[in-house]
Amino acid sequence: MATVTNWVQHLTTDTDSSTDGIQVAGEIYPMVGTEGWLLLLGVIFWLAWHFATASGESEEQRKLAKKSPGPNAHKNNIPEW
């Protein structure tokens, strides 16, 4: 998984011999080449969040609406720790 296993070797390996000087491979994160799969995982996590939280919010509001405590009921619930 590790893209770099030896810093000295990495920083002295020329990836493009046609260009002057040592051209170092810039990518140093793990699993280089899997960026597309990582993106897919990220998008799934993002969309799952919307579905999970939206259903939770709707359910909570449905219950509270059914209870219908009224506009001033919250004043009895102000904690005075």
Partner 1 sequence: MTDGLDALTVIFTEFYYWITVVLMFLIHVGFCMYEVGASRYKHHQHTLMKNTMLIPLVTVTWFFFGWWIYWAFPTGPGIAPSIMTESSGLILGGGFGANDLANPTSSIMAVNLNDHINGVFWAAFLLFSWTAASIVSGALIERITTFAFGILAIAIGSVFWTIDAAWGWHFDGWMVKLLGYHDAYASGVIHACAGGFALGVLAVLGARIGKFSSSGEPRNIGPRNPWLVCVGLFCIYTGFWGFYAACNIPIFDLGPEYGMEGVTFYTATNIYITPTTLSGITLNFLMSLAGGLLAGYWVSKGDPFWTYSGGLAGIITASAGNDLYHPIQSLLIAGVGVWVAYKMHYWVERKFKIDDAVGAVAVHGYAGVVGLIICGFVLWGYPSSGYGDAYAAINPMGMIIGAIIMFGVLGFLPGYIIAKILHAAGKLRIPREVELAGLDYNIMEAAKKDEKAVSSASR
Site residues (CB under 8 A) for partner 1? 21, 24-29, 32, 35-36, 39, 42-43, 46, 50, 53-54, 57-58, 60-62, 64-71, 73-74, 76-81
Q: How far is the CB of 56 from partner 1 (least distance, A)?
A: 10
The DSSP string of 31-71 is TTT-HHHHHHHHHHHHHHHHHHHHHHHHHHHHHHHHH---T
As measured in angstroms, the least distance from the Cβ of 25 to partner 1 is 8
Token look-up 């799934």 returns 44
Q: How far is the CB of 6 from partner 1 (least distance, A)?
A: 15
Q: What's the DSSP call for residue 76?
A: G
Which is nearest to 25 in space by CA: 8, 11, 5? 11
